[in-house]
Structure 1
Amino acid sequence: MPEGRISSGGPWEDRYGYARAVVAGPHVLVSGCTATVGGEVQHVGDAYQQTLTAFSIALDAVEKAGITRADVVRTRLYVVNADDFDAVGKAHGEVFGDVRPACTSVQVAGLVDERMLVEVEVEAYRPVERGDCGG
């Protein structure tokens, strides 16, 4: 698995000084992802579709790190409207139902764009294989 930082090419990474994901040893830590593609919020008003899109962006970073959805061990869901928790949870279940990572869901007052209904974070872990000294 490559070490270092993974970029999605999004405009905010350079502007605000962060990476889409960081690979640190066997850990892959993915920054918060929303349903923003090409600088535009997708699926306005639809928390379910926004969640699927956000997870797609997050999992793209996981795959760039050389691991898969099956290696995800924790997710965090930041949801603006309490009424959307079921839709967001349904999307989470469709993506991770067979993986069953630890998951935290939190209602937040808002996100950086009022059209954003959900933001997700993903952490993945792939243990170092036996005989691999990491060097």
Structure 2
Amino acid sequence: MGGAAPYETRYGYSRVVIAGDRALTAGTTALGPVGVLHPGDAYAQARSAFGIALDALAGAGVPADRVVRTRMYVVDPSHADAVSRAHGEVFGTIRPVATLVVVAALLDPAMLVEVELEAYVGERSAPAGAS
């Protein structure tokens, strides 16, 4: 299954891959069908990016409470609090390990945050790619 982002098909990657007992998401931004969502709002972009990544996991049969690791990349240190607040609202009861780093830039200058999720899915009979 492909995601909504145009990059998946163009650059040859999957939004989610299940490998053994893990489900991994690709880096996910707040990219919608017509471009970057919520320009200038790191909090809203983080909420959207987490939602897109969680929807992709759900589409692969992995519920949110299986997320064990999150990674957040921000382009400006001043966005750390807003992105962390969004993370807390989404994952506060799950409490995965988390990393937040500041990067020089993302692919589109309007993108303020990118996230990755890793979930534990338990034993499966064989690794399989999802979307």
- Give the alignment's TM-score, normalised by structure 2: 0.91
Question: Which residue is equivalent to 1:33?
Answer: 28
Unmatched tracts of structure 1, length 5 or more: 1-5
Aligned to 1:52: 47
Do the aligned partners of 1:77 and 1:104 also contact (CA within 8 Å) in 2?
A: yes
Q: Quick one: distance in 1 between partners of 2:4 and 2:88?
A: 28
Q: Partners of 2:36 and 2:84 in 1: how far apart?
A: 20
Question: Structure 2 matches for 1:80-95, cutoff 5 A?
Answer: 80-95=75-90
Aligned counterpart, 2:92: 97
Alignment of 1:42-81 (within 5 A): 42-81=37-76
Q: Is the 8 A contact 1:20 1:61 kept in 2?
A: yes
1:22 equivalenced with 2:17 (yes/no): yes
Question: 2:69–2:96: 8 Å Cα contact kept in structure 1?
Answer: yes
Q: Distance in 2 between matches of 1:60 and 1:73?
A: 16
2:5 to 10, 19, 25: 10
Which structure is larger by alpha-carbon Rg, 1 or 2? 1
SS of the residue corresponding to residue 115 of structure 2 reads: strand
> For residue 92 of structure 1, what is the amino acid of its counterpart?
H
The 8 Å contact of residues 11 and 39 in structure 1, kept in 2 or not, is answered as no
SS at match of 1:32: coil
Report the equivalent of 2:116: 121
The whole-number CA distance in structure 2 between the counterparts of 1:49 and 1:34 is: 11
Q: Does the CA contact (< 8 Å) of 1:74 and 1:122 recur in 2?
A: yes
Q: Percent identity?
A: 52
Q: Which has the higher contact order (CA 8 A, sep 6+)?
A: 2
Q: 1:14: Cα distance to partner?
A: 1.3
Structure 2 residue 104 is the aligned partner of structure 1 residue 109: yes
Return structure 1 stretches of 4+ with deviation > 6 angstroms. Answer: none
* SS of 1:74 mapped into structure 2: strand
